[in-house]
Amino acid sequence: MSNENKLLGVASSPHVSSPIGTRSLMLDVLIALVPALCAAVYFFGPRALIATIISVVACEIFEMGYRKLLHKTQTNGDLSAAVTGVLLAFVCPVTLPYWMLIIGDFFAIVVVKQLFGGLGKNFINPALGGRAFLMLSYPVAMTTWAVPGKWSGLISAADAVTGATPLSVDFMHSGVLPEASIMDMFVGNVGGCIGEVSAVMLLAGGIYLIARGVIRPNIPVAFIATVAVLTFIFPQGGNDRVTWMLYELLGGGLFLGAFFMATDYVTSPTSPKGEIVFGIGCGLLTVFIRYFGGYPEGVSYAILIMNVCVWFIDQATKPARFGFTKEMKEKAKAAKKAAKEGAAK
């Protein structure tokens, strides 16, 4: 027996851990994005799939290369770079030349994520950071939209049939309803970025994530509800409230943003209250940008702006201390004040 004793492990409790790790969480996110990718391939052709794959591979290579260059441990196994790759491809038009997409991947992984210390340290969502960079660098390519059902070329998309998106300056940005029906918008039979068009598929993915406990419903619900309420109260162009609200909800990247971008762990608050504040903030900014901004679509910038507020939101929304009554709170406040005055003297 004494021999066996030497082999017993001793460690701090707890001695069991949940089977869910970072990698499995990221894998779940990737799985949840598959339905939207299927819709994209159906409407925009195999180029959507190729673009997504190229983006994932580029992200993984940039991550590996950067960490190798700086002699850091390799982190490709956590799949977070793959998630960034898919998401960045999803927020670009299918006609975007591959090399531009790769430049966006570089910006997302190296500049936004790794320069700040890698996973967990970046303060804005890498995919949205990459998109913002591409929007500034290649505004025309980033706003050229393929018409759904007319597949663009695999190598060069220069000959693609292009049109407007529901949220473009031609339509809702000017208060005019687009030609696409609400049903078309719901299934994704409209122009737009690769991954944002099919609300139903994104919803399926979002529900999967919530059911698996990967994300909590607070952010997406608060986000979408805020947009719904605001657009219902303030319809544009004399349109019917409900119709306008539905077009606002389904057009653009709201579902992709609410379920997959705003819920990014690293760049969202950690407490339940904070998540609701964050979701409401995203919703408010989205509507403001859509109504009053120069860009027809506001989801990505709304999330980016809220990303940089996360630290303050987390500070302001600490869960109420267990058993801390009102009297105790006042007492503690008074004591703090007294201590401050004492120190001043």
Partner 1 sequence: MSHKFYGGVHPAEHKEATERKPVVPLEEAPAQVVIPMSMHVGAPCKPIVAVGDEVKVGQKIGEIAGLGAPIHASVSGKVVAVEARPHPGGGKMMSVVIENDFQDTPCETIKHRDNVDALTPQEIIDIVKEAGITGMGGAGFPTHVKLSGAVGKVDAILINGAECEPYITADHRLMLERGEAVLGGVGFIMKALGLKEATIGIEGNKLDAVEHLKSLLPADSGIHIETLKTRYPQGAEKQLIQRITGREVPPGGLPADVGCTVFNVATASAIYDAVTEGKPLTHRNVTLTGGAMARPMNVNAPIGTPIEHLIKMAGGFQTQPQRLLMGGPMMGNPQYDLTAPMMKGTNCILALTDAEAAVQDTEQTCIRCGKCVNACPMHLMPLYMRMYSMKRDWDKVQEYNVMDCMECGSCNYICPARIHLVQTFRMAKFEIRGLQQKAKAKEAAKA
Token code pair at residue 335? 């004591």
Q: Which of 150, 241, 270, 316 binds partner 1 (CB under 8 A)?
A: 270
72 part of the interface to partner 1, by CB under 8 A: no
* DSSP letters for 189-235: -S-S-TTTS-HHHHHHHHHHHHHTTSS-THHHHHHHHHHHHHHHHS-
Q: d(Cα 342, Cα 335) in Å, to the nearest integer? A: 10
Q: Give residue 39's identity as a one-letter amino acid code.
A: A
21 part of the interface to partner 1, by CB under 8 A: yes
**Near partner 1 by CB under 8 A, which window of 84-92, 174-182, 236-244, 270-278?**
270-278
Which of 36, 61, 19 has its CA nearest to residue 261? 36
Note whether 177 and 247 are within 8 A (CB): yes
**Near partner 1 by CB under 8 A, which window of 60-68, 102-110, 115-123, 234-242?**
115-123
For residue 44, give Cα distances in angstroms to 149, 167, 205, 331: 6, 18, 19, 63
139 part of the interface to partner 1, by CB under 8 A: no
In the bound state with partner 1, the residue whose beta carbon lies nearer, of 200 and 216, is 216
3 part of the interface to partner 1, by CB under 8 A: no
| Burial (CB count within 10 angstroms: exposed 0-12, middle 13-18, buried 19+), residue 62 | buried
Which H helix or E strand runs over 146?
strand 145-146
74 part of the interface to partner 1, by CB under 8 A: no
Q: Which of 269, 281, 296, 298 binds partner 1 (CB under 8 A)?
A: 269
Q: Which of 72, 121, 329, 337 binds partner 1 (CB under 8 A)?
A: 121
Which H helix or E strand runs over 311?
helix 310-316
76 part of the interface to partner 1, by CB under 8 A: no
Contacting partner 1 within 300-329 (CB under 8 A) = 314, 318-325, 328
In the bound state with partner 1, the residue whose beta carbon lies nearer, of 21 and 139, is 21
Q: Residue 264 CB, nearest distance to partner 1 (Å)? A: 9
334 part of the interface to partner 1, by CB under 8 A: no
